[in-house]
Each structure stands twice: as structure tokens, then as C-alpha cells.
Structure 1
């Protein structure tokens, strides 16, 4: 009986460890949505009733930048996460390599946010009234 309890405790610990390891892909995919939220909050603070046309186009470009980079990063995280979880369940030492590749995939989304913030900070320079 004592041996069975020890086995059950060890098995439940392994299951918890694997669940936390494999949920990393889902957590990193959710970070991409936070990047879009940051860009949209910055954009919503700059919206005025009379806004220059170049400001509107810069905001459009910033949104497209975050969206496309987030989509590319999401695809990369999905593909790497699928292959990495399958491989690291068979050979646990591949987990660290999977995490490194996931970080590189996440950086794609971060680059989109950086470009978006650069575009949004430039959009307030030299605001002129649009007369169209």
C-alpha cells in the first residue's frame, strides 16, 4: 500500500510538470493579443475629431504591422509548439530547444509592436487639419 501511494504521488507530480510545460505554447500565443491591445490603446488615445490624413494612414499602417506580425508569430508558435510537444514528450531534453525556438517566434510579434509604436509616435508630429 505504501508503495502504491508513493507511485501515485510521483505520477501526479509528473502530470503536473508536463501540464505546465505544455501549456507554455498557449501562454505565449496569448501574449500576442496583448501586443495588439497595447497598439490599439495608443491609437485610441490619438484619435481626434479633425485629424490629418497622414495621421490616419500611419495609424492604419501601425495596426496592419501589429496584425500581420502577430499572425506570423502565431503561425510559428503553433507549428513549433505542435512539433515541440510531440518531440519533448518522447525525449524530455528537447524541451529547452523548443522554448528557445518559441522565444524566437514570439520576437516576430514584438518587432511588429516596435514598428507600430514608432509609427504612432510619428503620427502626432506636425498635425494638420484635413479639409476633405
Structure 2
């Protein structure tokens, strides 16, 4: 009964740890998907136009940045876990981890699909390159929005 009145139950750390897990896990899944799908497009394109390989690496780099967003939030959350960890802080940090993780997952999917189609299209029509970069930037910013929301949530308590 004493634990019910206490704002710092022993299981509150679980929610913070799950927030850190969700941040790095989901954002890394998105980055891995974006890298894999874009990589398939690059490999297919390189058969016809090997001179465009280095120019076509941009979607892979942008997908990798998504994982960095999750890493930043996961390290912030993990660094704040201590013996005075409240249940409210655990819930908020779980929400922060889910925000950056799921936004990173969605951004990684978008980067992978756009990167695949974009590099294949650029091989046959070089004017598509600028359009591909603009769409990739809009896809990347989805992950950035998730990180901004996560950091805002992180600073709430």
C-alpha cells in the first residue's frame, strides 16, 4: 500500500527503458529499411550507369541520419534513469521514445521508397535528381519532427 501512495514505484524505470528501446529500435528499423531499399535501387542503377554510384549514395546517407535521431533521444532517456525516477517521468519518456521511433520508422520507409525510385529514374533522366533530393528532404524532416517532439516531451519533467 505504501507503493501506491508513492510516486516512484520500482516498475517506473521500465517505462523509461522502454522509451529508450522504442527510440533506438524503431528509428534503426526505419534507417535499415531506407538503406536496404535505396541500396537495391543503387545496385540496379549501377549496372547501367556506374558513373552515378557516388551521386546516388545520398538516400543511404539520409536514411542513416534517421537512426542518429533515435540514438540521441535514447541516450538522453537512458541517462536520466536513476533511483528517484517517477512513474510520470517514465510515461513521458516512453511517449518521447515512441514519438521519435515511429516518426523515424515512417521517415525511413519514405526515404527507401523515394530513394529506390529516384536513383533508378535519375539513371535514365538526370533532371530527376533535384526533384529526388527535394522529396528526400521532406521525408527526412518527418524524422526530425519526431525528434523535436521527443525532446520537448523529455524536458517536461
Candidates 116, 122, 128, aligned match of 1:88: 122
Consecutive unaligned residues in structure 2, runs of 5 or more: 1-48
Cα separation, 1, equivalents of 2:50 and 2:120: 15
Cα separation, 2, equivalents of 1:20 and 1:112: 29
Whichever of the two has the greater Rg, that structure is 1
Whether 2:81 is the aligned partner of 1:47: answer yes
TM-score normalised over the length of structure 2? 0.67
* RMSD over equivalenced CA pairs, Å: 1.2
Query: Post-superposition shift, 1:44?
Result: 1.6
Matches within 5 A, 1:95-106: 95-106=129-140
Consecutive unaligned residues in structure 1, runs of 5 or more: 1-13, 124-132
Whether 2:93 is the aligned partner of 1:33: answer no
Query: Post-superposition shift, 1:108?
Result: 0.2
Whether 2:126 is the aligned partner of 1:110: answer no
Structure 1 segments, 4+ long, off by >6 Å, are none
Cα separation, 2, equivalents of 1:46 and 1:122: 13
Query: Post-superposition shift, 1:38?
Result: 0.5
Cα separation, 1, equivalents of 2:50 and 2:110: 26
Alignment coverage as a number of residue pairs: 109
Cα separation, 1, equivalents of 2:146 and 2:85: 24
Cα separation, 2, equivalents of 1:94 and 1:61: 38
Matches within 5 A, 1:58-97: 58-97=92-131
Secondary structure of 1:115 counterpart: helix
